[in-house]
Structure 1
Amino acid sequence: MDGRDPGTKKGQPGTAAAALFGLCPRCAGKTLFARGIRFDRRCRACGLDYERFNVGDGPAAFLTLAIGALITGLAIWLELAVQPPFWVHVLLWVPITALAVVFGLRVAKAWLIGAEYRNAAREAGGRAP
């Protein structure tokens, strides 16, 4: 096994690699993000138009629930186990939450754009290109 998805063609990155490193789903160039969590307009290596993909707000909604539940659980556990002062919670959980959301959004958005490309997804009722 080479660790790639069964639907991956030669030269295309696997879903996990593309998501973790922000790789173009067509050529594997590290060109998916312009900065932060904003997609570039197109791949600088192969010209794939990223604007035709629509990942929507799904990743943000899912991450809000998942990361919120995880951080809340960890904060409650810390409070019950150690009972630190309030400022410790603030210094600990605010940066962890911010980093988890930003990194999580990059990974989730990259994974969804890769899945859309790999499955040739399009709007309901739309025509194939």
Structure 2
Amino acid sequence: MAQVPKTSSPILAGLKCRCPRCGKGRLFNGFLTLAPRCEVCGLDYSFADPADGPAFFVMIIMGIPAAGFGVWVELTFEPPLWVHLITTLPFLLLTCIPPIRPAKGMLVASQYLHKAEEGRFQK
């Protein structure tokens, strides 16, 4: 197999949800399920383990404006609970769920670029 050049940016590969090595193959099988390997260059994705990192970063970055929106609606209009259910809840879901996939892609690409792997004890 010919040597495949690395992509120039883990951010770009992550945002596109593409293979961090070739930039062409799909990174995911489902919404957040990593594919076993790249169908273009054959990179094995078993090295990747972003764990809860994507959810944490998205909650911290996007959760604050989403919660702020709910507080603003409450303090400005003092609406009944059902108004929050049709305004704040969808806003919260739309700002927190879609960014999880690209965030996971960026963390996987960053792990590949920096050759990050689990620590091992030496015997």
* Same fold (TM > 0.5): yes
The match for 2:95 is 100
Measured at CA, do residues 46 and 123 of structure 1 come closer, stay the same or move farther in structure 2, by a change above 3 Å?
Answer: same
Measured at CA, do residues 75 and 20 of structure 1 come closer, stay the same or move farther in structure 2, by a change above 3 Å?
Answer: same
Superposition CA RMSD, Å: 2.4
TM-score (norm 2): 0.80
* Structure 2 unmatched runs, 5+: none
Measured at CA, do residues 97 and 51 of structure 1 come closer, stay the same or move farther in structure 2, by a change above 3 Å?
Answer: farther
The match for 1:57 is 52
Kept after mapping to 1: 8 A contact 2:14/2:20: no
Code of the residue aligned with 2:53 in structure 1: it is G
- State the SS of the aligned residue for 2:97: helix
> Separation in 2 of the partners of 1:22 and 1:37?
10
Kept after mapping to 2: 8 A contact 1:13/1:23: no
Residue 113 (1) aligns with residue 108 (2):
yes
Moved over 4 A (4+): none
Deviates more, 1:83-92 or 1:28-37: 83-92
Listed as ranges, the matches of 1:35-50 within 5 Å are: 35-50=30-45
Number of equivalent positions? 119
> Separation in 1 of the partners of 2:32 and 2:96?
10
1:60-116 alpha-carbon deviations (Å, 9 max, x no partner) = 233334433321111111222233342221112222322333222112111111111
Code of the residue aligned with 2:119 in structure 1: it is A
Code of the residue aligned with 2:11 in structure 1: it is A
Q: Structure with the greater relative contact order (CA < 8 A, sep ≥ 6): 1 or 2?
A: 2
Q: Quote the offset at 1:41 in angstroms.
A: 1.1
- State the SS of the aligned residue for 2:119: coil
* Alignment match of 1:75 (pick from 70, 82, 97): 70
Kept after mapping to 2: 8 A contact 1:13/1:28: no
Kept after mapping to 2: 8 A contact 1:59/1:105: yes
* Structure 1 unmatched runs, 5+: 1-8
